[in-house]
Chains A and B, each alone.
Chain A
Amino acid sequence: MKFIDYVQLNPFQKFWYNLKKFFINLPSNLGKIFKAIGRFFKKMFVGIGKGFAGYFSRFVKGDWATKISYLIMGFGNIVKGQIIKGLIFLATEVLFILYMIGFGWDKIYNLGFFNHGTIGFREEGYGINPVTGRPGRIEGDDSMKLLLYGVMTLIIIGIFFAIYIANTKSAYKAQQLKAAGEPLPKLKDEFKEFFDDKFHVTLLAFPTLTISIFTILPLLFMILIAFTNYDHSHIGTLFQWVGLKTFGDVFSNSGAASMGKTFVELVKWTLIWAVLATVLNYILGMVVALMINKKGIKLKALWRTLFVVTVAVPQFVTLLLMSQMLDVNGGAINVLLHDVLHWTPEYINFLGGDPWVARITVIVVNIWVGIPYTILITSGILMNIPADLYESATIDGAGPVKSFTKITLPYMLFVTTPYLITSFVGNINNFNVIYLLTANLQNSNDLYQAGYTDLLVTWLFKLTMNSQDYNFAAAIGILVFIVCATVSLLTFNLTKSAKNEEEFS
């Protein structure tokens, strides 16, 4: 299609055109993503190289005080008169050295570099204590703890290294300013900056800190666990680094309930689930929202409240109750359908019987959970659709269905793509609905520690809590991340290509 043809399309046709283009270009887009990742690493390495070059050139150009700062941090600043700044650097160095001597080095030493990949040295045991002659515990190393402290120490070394580099820079800068005869900045002035030009540092310092400690550190730790053999047979003993073996096992195909088969089965169902749950909640929710907001419908607030109340009740209550109501042995829904309404010939095993019946049930329950959210989010936007679009459509003879698919849907898709991506990723990780409804009801001897309605994330949970296969759980977590990241990147590209076009008129 030439540009001139494209410009003449109406906005909706443009959108569909872009959507089509997106799928045609999918392979090349994927290629682009990999290239971008490559570029990122290239940039990183170039940056590191430049950093080192700067590090050495500053040393060569530096005066004696700057050179000493390479060994005794803060020396250059102190000599040049920035005493407090220099002392802070010095204190950091002293603290770091004390930390490494007293704690850090031992943890690095225990990380497995010196024990054929086993984290820690002494096995836990029980025996006669030679001092007292009484039986008792012989304390051993705890690989889990050692690994956690090891990771923490590595991070501290990294931070210290960054401060160290900043120290050399600062010393050199002080030297330059002194040489140029300019006054050195006062600490007070530098401090004031943090409420204006450097306000972002003030704002981000605290959240960054807590996120680093309680999100990034545990995450790095669990990613490392995926490369060890810390499974249910290594509770109470030391575990080892095994490289990629865990991932190999996740894809292996041996035995009645192989992990490979389970993984493939669950990935398939996770994707089906995520697509169905997202699309159905979105479209049906929008239909309900349209009905509530239709001109001439009265009691709008009442209708909306009926749906929205369900958002506020905690899910573990409503979903557990739902699983009671869906129970095959006289659950309320079965009683209603069979005993009261006589619609079904017998009680239906909604959750514990045929896998597909259970899967459909969880999707339907998820619609119950999800539609109110869609109503909340879309109501406002639906009102913003220009009324003349509908009017002209009605004049052209379009019915309600046609005007929904031709006007409402494209418009909403255009505006709410970010929401759709978040809810898709959210559904891939939708734990509550699946776990609270079917917990272990769909478990099968064909699957390893999983049932037919399990998503990857509920499998991860079962592997952690039921069978204590921490390494497999970690590996699956990483794989879930890869799935989510790919989906998000791809759809993000789609929205970008759509948003680059002019806005809707």
Chain B
Amino acid sequence: MKKIIALLLAVMMLAGVLAACGGGSNNTTDTSKPAEGGDTKADVEDPFYGEDNISLLVWAADNAVNTTKTLCDNFIAKYPNKKITIDVQTQGEGDAAAQVLNDADKAADVFSFACDQINRLAKGKALAPVIPDFKDDVTSRNTEFAVSTATLNGELLAYPETGENGYYLVYDKAVVSDEQAKTLEGIFEACKAANKKFVIDAGNGFYSCMFIYTGGLKLDGLTEDGTQVFNAYDKEKVLDSLEAFANLFHQYSDIFMSADPARIGSGMAEDPSTVGAGIDGSWNAATVASVLGDNYGAAKLPTINIKGTDTQIISMNGSKLIGVNARSKFPEAAQLLANYLTDEEAETARLEELSWLPSNIKAAESDIVKKNPALSALSDQAQFSEPQINIADTFWSPVGTLGNKLFNTDKFDRATIESEFDKAISNVLDE
């Protein structure tokens, strides 16, 4: 008898669990019905194709949440005869793919993400491609670069949200002169004279890829199964570039600092400031500009002297995209909202409030872009950068580790660099 009671309890509990599961799956079918079974005649006039009582979840970067909320409110106001609720939550673009792929059912319907994650998301079948209704418009209103970052295997998978979103050189004009800021050696020399740090996040693949890009290595798409393909690069040249960086990092080991870009702003805000210059992302630009005031300097990345020639440092350049979750319960509304959040008006709003470089051709011609030093530095750097597309998941960690090795080992002769480079490449190829 004792066992019976115990077992019965167990069965009841498990039955409860299963009832809940059953309920859960029923819900999904119920809610997806209006999307599928709408009245086809009415659909022609209705951009929502019959969807109503819409509730959408939007993920935006932390600093963009308020702007996005306003835009969403405008969107709701635009369709007064539909019942729409939109919830905006904060989610960094850098980590969006991981969050979406961990559980696509719970992820946002419309989310902002950095373009390097597009193939992960596509492989995980998490992205609904841009629907034919908007495709031509999206392609024509945005820059070629932005469209290319949103395209995979010829299919437009997401809505471009920003133009070139890379990193640039930020410097304290009291330490580094505009002239010195043109060469890496000059920056180091100026920082040394003032005994201030120069910051690059060399252990992070997003930044450390410039050490190999500058040597002529480039990405050339992905194979069928997602393995990285490189161009026919000259290995000796890549090693030359790595060696040149390693030499500088060691020569100025008390000046060079590999750390999170947040250290640039922190260091400059100290009294007396401890950081003279750094390679920083545009998201910190506003804070750094307010810290430095008139001494705020921003420029494209400097050159580095490789075997006697000043070579422009090549960087990685991405864009932010807005994607629609393939599992959205309101796919039509989600597409409509994504399109709305990336039109000229929305991009102008983000440019004005957040200083995000627009991907929209018209919005990008605004005077604000030309007046903003960080944005003009970014667009100057754009021609010396590789688009951040078709990058394998396996790229970041090995390249970041390679960057770490350049400065934090005592031994940095060519043979060591070569073996580290070989290992990194082999890991990127997932061999």
Contacts and interface: CB of A to CB of B under 8 A. Distances in A.
B408 A92 contact: no
Contacts of B430: 255
A129 B332 CA distance: 13
Given A134-B49, A254-B431, A255-B431, A446 B15 contact: no
Nearest to B124: A236
Interface residues of B, number: 67
Contacts of B40: 132-133
A391 interface: no
A445 B389 CA distance: 23
Nearest to A126: B326
Dominant secondary structure at the B interface = helix
Contact of A443 (B4, B397, B426): B397
Contacts of B36: 129, 131-132, 136
Contact of A159 (B14, B397, B423, B431): B14
Given A103-B22, A135-B132, A208 B401 contact: no
Given A124-B125, A135-B131, A449-B397, A256 B423 contact: yes
Interface string A75-113: 000000000010011001001100100110000000000
B232 interface: no
Contacts of B225: 233
Nearest to B328: A137
Contacts of B13: 209, 213
Given A137-B326, A152-B14, A256-B426, A205 B332 contact: no
A446 B125 contact: no
Given A209-B13, A446-B423, A126 B6 contact: no
A459 to B, nearest CB: 14
B22 to A, nearest CB: 6
A272 B298 CA distance: 49
Interface string B420-431: 101110110011
Interface in B5-20: 5-11, 13-15, 17-18
B18 A443 contact: no
B62 to A, nearest CB: 20
A156 interface: yes
Contacts of A212: 10
B406 to A, nearest CB: 12
Contact of A134 (B332, B398, B405, B423): B332
Interface stretch (A40-48, A243-251, A345-353, A380-388): A345-353
B2 A131 contact: no
A205 B8 CA distance: 10
A233 B226 contact: yes
Contacts of A235: 101, 123-124
A208 B423 CA distance: 50
Query: Which of B4, B259, B331 has the most A CB atoms < 10 Å from its CB?
Result: B4
Contact of A131 (B37, B226, B257): B37
A497 interface: no
Contact of A95 (B15, B257, B263, B274): B15
Nearest to B402: A445
A288 interface: no
Q: Which among A125, A193, A208, A209 has the highest number of chain B CB atoms within 10 Å?
A: A209
A198 interface: yes
A213 B17 CA distance: 9
Contacts of B424: 445
A95 B423 contact: no
A89 B9 CA distance: 13
Nearest to B123: A236
Contacts of B98: 465, 468
Nearest to B21: A149
B418 interface: no
Contacts of A96: 11
A152 B18 contact: yes
A234 to B, nearest CB: 10
Contact of B9 (A95, A126, A205, A327): A205
Nearest to A468: B101
Contacts of B306: none
A208 B6 contact: yes
Nearest to B422: A256
Interface string A387-425: 000000000000000000000000000000000000000
B415 interface: no
Contacts of A159: 7, 10-11, 14
Interface in B338-396: 393
Q: Which 5 A-B pairs have the closest CB atoms?
A: A236-B124, A256-B426, A445-B423, A236-B125, A255-B431
Interface of B: 1-11, 13-15, 17-18, 21-22, 35-38, 40, 43, 49, 98, 101-102, 104, 123-126, 128-129, 131-132, 197, 203, 225-226, 254, 257, 259, 263, 274, 326-327, 331-332, 393, 397-398, 400-402, 404-405, 408, 420, 422-424, 426-427, 430-431
23 contacts: A89-B4, A92-B8, A102-B22, A129-B36, A135-B128, A135-B129, A136-B128, A163-B7, A166-B3, A170-B1, A190-B1, A194-B2, A198-B2, A209-B9, A213-B14, A213-B17, A233-B226, A235-B123, A236-B126, A256-B431, A441-B203, A468-B98, A468-B102
Given A132-B38, A445-B426, 5 more contacts: A125-B125, A132-B43, A135-B129, A149-B18, A445-B402
